[in-house]
Amino acid sequence: MSIGFGLERLGLLTLRFPRIVAIAVLAFTALCTFQLTKFNIDGDLLRLYRGSGIEYDRYIALTENFGTFENDVYLLVQSDTLTDPGTLEELRFLGLELELNEFAAGTMSPFSLRRPAEGGTSVPAVPEGMETSEQVAEALADLRINDPLMSNLILADNAGMVMIMFPDPQTMAELGEDTMLASLRELMAAYESEDIHIELTGPAIWKEEVLNASRFDQLLFMVAGVVLGFLTALFSFRTFWGALIATLTPVVTAFWVTGMTILVFGSFTFLTNIISALVLVIAFAESMYFCLYWMRTGNTGPDQRAALIETVRKVSPACALTAITTIIACTSLALAPGQGLREFAISGALGMALAFLALVTFLPLSLLLAMRLGFRMRKTPSAALTAPIPLVRRIAHAAPRSAALAAILVAGLLLIPHFLLEPHFKFQDFLPRGSDAIATSDQIDAGVGGVAPVYIRIPLEGGLTEMTDGDFATVERVHQIAENNFGVGKVISAASFRHYSELGFSRERIFEAVGPFLRQRFVTDDGMQALITAFSPTSENARQTVALVESMRAELTSAGIEGAEISGFRVLTAYASLDMIGTLQISLMLAIALSVVLIGIAFRSWKLALVSVIPNSLPILLTELFLYASGIQLQLTTVISLTIAFGIAVDDTIHFLAHYARARERGETIAKAVDTTLDRVGPALIATTLILIAGCAVVTVSVLPQVALFGFLTVITLLAALIGDLIVLPALLIGGGMVFARWSERKNGIPA
């Protein structure tokens, strides 16, 4: 069996039964094209973490008991004339209209809050009918000092306030999130003036920004990827029609991948959004390699069809093996928890399988049609692709043993930063650069509580009519512990209204005054669970959040509070992301090990498997050195990019070793086989790497920092991989001398 485990037979079947295969290809393309009509990108950030473990389960339990929180909308209202009675009353009407909005299940603003009054009634917390700025300033200052809720809603300098709308899930599901945001922006526009400025933030707006950026990225990546790939092919082949043939296969592959991803998952996410572009550039590289080999083979004889058959037989096995190793790299990502990464892993593996299928079906069919129309490639590729090869040969022969030892030593030293890297996650890194919503969140963080709430859910003994003294004491203890960790005035709970209790109002009266919706944010209807909400800055990274939560948990345990659970979207993303990164790091090592073993099995040589370790590890280790030195550390995107880049980089090693092994089978010495391989494969490796780098370079211009980082790290890794395959790998083969020589060569003293 060949190194492609017989998968190259699909290409031979295509050449044998071109009409049947053409019908099948057209039918499959039609199916995928139909799926494109359903194209959409799901901006649900929770989808990434679905099924990720205990923190996700805790978050779901929280939403089931106290409602959903990931769609809360924050309005930051700023005004230099806030203490002007006219401005205040204008904002009171804004708060009322916000509460009456068809999407609102409830709101929390200085105007929605009420306080108990004599006679069993309640009055607005912000008094009505004030006539002077001094009265307004005094009232707002009193509320900030004595009402913890108000301290999280009114800015200390009286320059603004925060209003929060809690969307109704059913209405939002029926009418859509876009309609909700449009409705809110229409409301904001009615109140915008020279004195009043209103900005939106919160998870719903973050999601909208990610969606808009992802849609733009998808279009940019596909168009720019095709254009750059075509130009690189034109530069390599020096003929328009040759470049067009090499371009068609990747374009069709991208259609297939996009259609099948929609068919399997129903939509794209901000992670799977880059799969189509990624597979596009990989398919470009393989298409280029295939066409370059066909062009070279066609030079030896007049029959280009025979050259095509020979190309399928010689190139397809290596392409099959490269597809398998990249599929292994993608599949290894599925070991990490969370639906988002599993979808990314499956999409990547599916994309690579489809890329190989297009290579051995659509590309041969295209070449058959081109030959029938009289097309012939130029005799040689661009001189720019062959120019570096003599220099590379001289370097490989200059001091191969020293170069090989140096490469091994460098790889060993680079293990130091590899083990020093630490997982890092910051939610803001997933949002577009220059995000208006994040800028607004930062203003809220600086002025009041924050837009990243952390929730502490505690069990109670239960009191259907009024919270018992024992339960209230428990809530007070947890409230105090939360303030110890998050800061005074950064926590709200049923204990926030103690000053009203001290004025003689019962807790039941207080809950009646705040209203049923806010009451449900403090205690469940059955009185069996209470909720304490603490506000943390949006800018916190995952390690800071985890440290804070662990400190809280330790204090709760010391205080004897049993059954308390700390959750929230911020907590979920912090714990789950760090867990994902750790698992992905292990999966990367597993992907490398499995790929090396697979190379050994495919070539039936443990020596070739061993020699492939260094040139494929060095790019990863060098990129990790950059991550460590730059302080970027291991993030979700960095580990994913390293895994995918390894899967791509090992492709070139396989193509090199495949040609080297054939040269050795023809009886060439190691040095001669290396030279032959460099002459034959080197230009193709340079051309394919240029395409890969051009395609990934497009990704670096994404406004999503994590997507841009993915492209940048992939470019670095691919450049290092090209150096590894053209310089390090030949040095290892030649420098290894008798290690890679056959027994008969060693016995007869034949030089390597």
Answer for the pair 176, 97: CB distance below 8 angstroms, yes or no: no
Domain assignment present for residue 133? The answer is yes
Helix locations, 299-399, DSSP H: 304-332, 339-360, 362-372, 383-386, 388-398
Residues 547, 553, 554, CA angle at the centre, nearest 5°?
A: 90
- pTM of model > 0.95: no
In a shared domain, residues 563 and 587: no
Q: Which residues share a beta bridge with 75?
A: 163, 200
Strand partners, 154: 161
| CA atoms of 400 and 737, how far apart (whole Å) | 9
Q: What is the pLDDT of residue 257?
A: 92
pLDDT of residue 421: 87
The residue written with tokens 């929605």 in the block is 112
Whole-angstrom Cα Rg for the chain: 32
Tokens, residue 144: 């900030």
In which domain, by residue range, is 723 found?
9-46+207-413+574-748
Q: Can you give the pLDDT at residue 186?
A: 93
Neighbours of 712 (CB within 10 A): 20
| Residue 529: its H or E element | strand 529-536
Identity at 168, one-letter amino acid code? D
Q: pLDDT tens, 709-735?
A: 888 888 888 889 889 889 899 988 888
Residues 110, 160: one domain? Answer: yes
Is residue 431 one of the residues assigned to a domain? no
Whether 38 is in a domain gets the answer: yes
- Domain end among 528, 546, 567: 567
Listed in order, strand segments (DSSP E) in 119-270 are 122-124, 160-167, 197-201
Mean pLDDT by 10 residues, the chain (752 residues): 82 92 95 89 80 88 76 87 89 91 86 73 81 88 79 80 87 87 92 90 83 80 81 80 86 92 87 80 84 77 80 88 88 86 90 94 92 72 70 82 87 91 82 79 68 85 68 86 83 73 58 65 79 80 88 89 88 88 85 88 86 88 91 84 81 87 86 87 83 81 84 88 90 71 48 49
- Report the pLDDT value the prediction gives residue 748, as an integer from 0 to 100: 47
Residue 113's Cβ-side half-sphere holds a number of Cα atoms within 13 Å equal to: 24
The count of structural domains within the chain is: 3
Q: How far is residue 328's CA from residue 353's CA, in Å, rounded to a whole number?
A: 11
Tell me the C-alpha distance between 278 and 693, whole Å: 11
Task: Assess whether 30 and 120 both reside in one domain.
Answer: no
Residues linked to residue 492 through DSSP beta bridges, in sequence order? 533
Task: Indicate whether 183 and 226 sit together in one domain.
Answer: no
Dist CA 89 CA 111 (whole Å):
10
Residues 635, 740 within the same domain: yes
Asked if residue 273 and residue 156 are part of one domain, the reply reads no
Token digits of residue 116: 């108990």
Same domain, 179 and 211: no
**359 Cβ neighbours under 8 A, 6+ residues apart:** 11, 249, 283, 286, 287, 290, 316, 319
Lookup result for tokens 């406004």:
703
Residue 61 forms part of a structural domain:
no
End of a domain among 185, 201, 217? 201
508 lies in some domain:
no
Please list the residues that pair with 459 across neighbouring strands.
529
Q: What is the pLDDT of residue 256?
A: 94
pLDDT of residue 746: 47
**CB contact set of 34 (below 8 Å; sequence gap of 6+):** 259
185 and 282 belong to one structural domain: no
The pair of structure tokens assigned to 608 is 């070739």
Between the CA of residue 493 and those of 146, 161, 476, what are the distances in Å?
14, 20, 8
Q: What is d(CA 405, CA 397) in angstroms, rounded to the nearest whole number? A: 14
Same domain, 325 and 382: yes
Task: Give the residue from 491, 481, 488 showing the smallest Cα distance to 534.
Answer: 491
Domain termination site, one of 183, 201, 219: 201
Residue 306 falls inside a structural domain: yes
Asked if residue 433 belongs to a domain, the reply is: no
Tell me whether residue 425 is in a domain. no
The 10s digit of each residue's pLDDT in 391-406 is: 888 887 888 888 888 8
Q: Match 């808009």 to its residue by tokens.
A: 212
Question: For residue 117, what pLDDT is reported?
Answer: 72
Tokens of 338: 């969370």
Closest CA to 696 of 726, 679, 718, 677: 718
Would the CA dihedral through 235, 241, 244, 248 be positive or negative?
negative
Cβ atoms of residues 56 and 576 within 8 Å: yes
Question: Looking at the structure, do residues 190 and 227 belong to the same domain, yes or no?
Answer: no
d(CA 282, CA 338): 26
Neighbours of 442 (CB within 10 A): 18
Same structural domain for residues 193 and 214? Answer: no
First to last CA, the chain: 28
pLDDT at 383: 62
Same domain, 589 and 554: no
Question: Residue 698 sits in a domain of what CATH number?
Answer: 1.20.1640.10
pLDDT tens per residue, range 321-379: 888 988 988 888 888 888 888 998 899 899 999 999 999 999 999 999 988 887 776 55
Crossing angle of helices 18-35/9-16, nearest 10°? 110
